[in-house]
Structure 1
Amino acid sequence: MKRTLALLISLHFVVACSPEKSPPPATDKTKAATTTLITPDYELLRPTDEPAAALLILFGGYPERAADIKREFKIAEPATAQQVAVLFMNYSQRLWLEESEKKELGSRLQSAILKHGLPTDNIYVGGFSSGGNVALLLSDFLVGRDEFGFKPKGVFVVDSPVDLAELYATAALNVARNFSPPSVREGEFLLEKMSKEIGDPTRSLDRYETYSPVTFGTNNTDRIANLREIKIRLYTEPDTVWWQKHRQQAYVETNGYRLKRLYGKMRELGFEKVTYVTSENRGYRSGGERHPHSWSIVDPEELVSWMLAN
């Protein structure tokens, strides 16, 4: 039990081209009055005195809950300074979503939006690592539906493992090379989970197409087809030296490489509002650890500006 808990606490999936121009962030440093509401499902940070101009919904990586997202991603002040409400979700430990989970999550968000009087016409969804997969799959589902009363205007992912079949293959390589203990533990976990719940991609690739945002091996993008007309950002920090030194992984085995491929595929398919955003030496965990697979690769103020741009 202790080993499992430790694994979940440490688990982050290993698994872009400059950003489009946005208005500069506000220079007014006056701290906006905000209200924080905490529920079992989420933490909501919203303006106290005025209606929110936009809503940002955030999903953490595999073990992250709302408090973890708030600690690792310094979005609170830049968002509230621009009257943007932030919904930090206690929804993680998912690499993919079942259809029933998409419906349940859509209803849960609908309830929160109605209960707190949040905007329905300017909503953005984002996620880190596995949470980025959730953000993409959920946004695709919501854009294709009318019954929830809201649809995302944009979605962004932060170094997410968007092709589960390739994630499986990378996990197998990490276990076989036996170089980095964290990668070996993560690889063993992933292989067990995906083998049990989806199958081996060499025999069940159709099931991977059902659950992955993209499956490069079969050129399948059905799970993100509805996102063609909304704003998309794909964030990564492609520090090839770090991955080789600490994980003995080649660039083609990283999330950054796959996000770059996804960007190219989206552009090829006519996604005109997608941007691949890279950073350099921004990736640090809150405790000071250098790691390119981190929330910190996103510039919070620039992200808010992108959200509020027409």
Structure 2
Amino acid sequence: MKFRLSIGLSLLWYATFAQSPLHSTLQNSPLGYTLITPPGTAKGLIVFIPGFAQTADQLLQETEFEKLAYLYGITTIVVPCGRKMYADGQVVKLLNEAIIATLSDYNIAPNKVVMGGFSAGGTIALKYTQYCLKYPESYPIKPKAVFAVDSPVDLKEIYSYMERELEKQYSEAGVSEAYVIKALMERELGGTPTEVPVRYQELSPFTKGAKLGGEAEVLKSFPIRLYHDADIQWQLKNRRRSFYDMNIAPASEMINQLMLLGNTRAELMMTVGKGVRSNGERHPHSMSIVDEQELMIWILKHLEVDTNPSHKKASN
């Protein structure tokens, strides 16, 4: 929800933020990306990816995150990936282009980057981070940490959920989404998870039942946060969904698998009842489930940046 900054930081923001977001084009996409950068040399970069079909402006309407990053001297790029649920070749090209341009234009070191995203954007951020760690010679950055906000982490599980939504035929919004995404996944991935299981697993940040969590093993020593609102009462009342239908179920299993692999920096960040959108609508699938100031401190820690805001309010 907007206007969730503390009064002190809000005043500091309005006193120091003198730049409108910059909208940049991408060769491979009509969407482009949005950049917010502080004056002078940036101390790091946050790559923030919106949800399925969500624009940069729509995501920024739901968060103060880019403002906090600005205050701490961090550049943010918001890179929409369109109607995508995973980091396939097309998405990787978009992210590479936006990241390479930003690192070059603002002289940011490749090892001063944190990846993050909302909904499907978080799924993409997780997978892109895995690519960077697994194939460092082929990617432009060496991420320091990754976070995802109410993101589906297991593509096989999200496909099964879509099937259940279509079978229930209860929520108009849920059924409509399920028709679109199920058909899209079958078309782009070449079939169902039963027909092409390897394709689903290789694009999924985590695969339940696979040895070592499938691709999750790549993150066995990496800082990762998964944010979820476990408001089961809202889901039951408004969508007729159980925990099996919520993103938090596979996410908790992914974090558990990483902890079993020895990852002491894998965290499930859970709230209950805090999901509210900027229009006032109560919904667990919202950016407001994140304590943005606390998340920013976590990011600064991994970027090795001072947690005191770098831009002070001008004295009169």
TM range, smaller chain: 0.7 to 0.9
1:53 aligns with 2:35: no
From 288, 296, 307, give the equivalent of 1:304.
296
Aligned residue in 1 for 2:12:
30
Contact 1:64 1:92 in 2 (8 A): yes
1:154 aligns with 2:145: yes
Pairwise CA distance, 1:203 = 2.7
Specify the code of the residue in structure 1 equivalent to 2:169.
N
1:44 aligns with 2:26: no
1:70-120 CA distance string (max 9 Å, x none): 101221322222112111113232111224642552243112211222343
Aligned residue in 1 for 2:29:
none
1:248-283 CA distance string (max 9 Å, x none): 011122101111111101111122211110112221
TM-score, normalised by the number of residues in structure 1: 0.85
1:270 aligns with 2:262: yes
Pairwise CA distance, 1:246 = 1.0
d(CA) in 2 for partners of 1:131, 1:278: 19
Specify the code of the residue in structure 1 equivalent to 2:122.
G
Q: Secondary structure at the match of 1:137?
A: helix
From 116, 133, 144, give the equivalent of 2:106.
116
1:70 aligns with 2:55: no
What is the 5 A alignment of 1:122-271? 122-144=112-134, 145-198=136-189, 199-219=191-211, 221-271=213-263
1:102 aligns with 2:102: no
RMSD of aligned residue pairs (Cα, Å): 2.1
Contact 2:212 2:257 in 1 (8 A): no
Q: Against the structure 1 CA distance between its residues 147 and 171, is the aligned structure 2 distance closer, same or farther, given a 3 Å change threshold?
A: closer
1:133-177 CA distance string (max 9 Å, x none): 110111111223135452110000011111111111111111111
What is the aligned length? Answer: 285
Q: Which runs of 5+ in 2 are unaligned?
A: 1-5, 26-31, 303-316
Specify the code of the residue in structure 1 equivalent to 2:167.
A
Range with bigger deviation, 163-172 or 110-119: 110-119
1:165-193 CA distance string (max 9 Å, x none): 11111111111111111111111112211
Range with bigger deviation, 138-147 or 294-303: 138-147
Q: Secondary structure at the match of 1:85?
A: strand
TM-score, normalised by the number of residues in structure 2: 0.84
Q: Against the structure 1 CA distance between its residues 148 and 190, is the aligned structure 2 distance closer, same or farther, given a 3 Å change threshold?
A: closer
Q: Secondary structure at the match of 1:146?
A: helix
Contact 1:60 1:69 in 2 (8 A): yes
Determine which structure has greater relative contact order: mean sequence separation of CA pairs < 8 Å that are 6+ residues apart, divided by chain length. 1
Specify the code of the residue in structure 2 equivalent to 1:153.
K
Range with bigger deviation, 94-103 or 121-130: 94-103
Contact 2:23 2:33 in 1 (8 A): yes
Pairwise CA distance, 1:27 = 5.7
Specify the code of the residue in structure 2 equivalent to 1:190.
I
Q: Secondary structure at the match of 1:230?
A: coil
Q: Against the structure 1 CA distance between its residues 82 and 288, is the aligned structure 2 distance closer, same or farther, given a 3 Å change threshold?
A: same
Specify the code of the residue in structure 1 equivalent to 2:149.
V
d(CA) in 1 for partners of 2:75, 2:122: 19
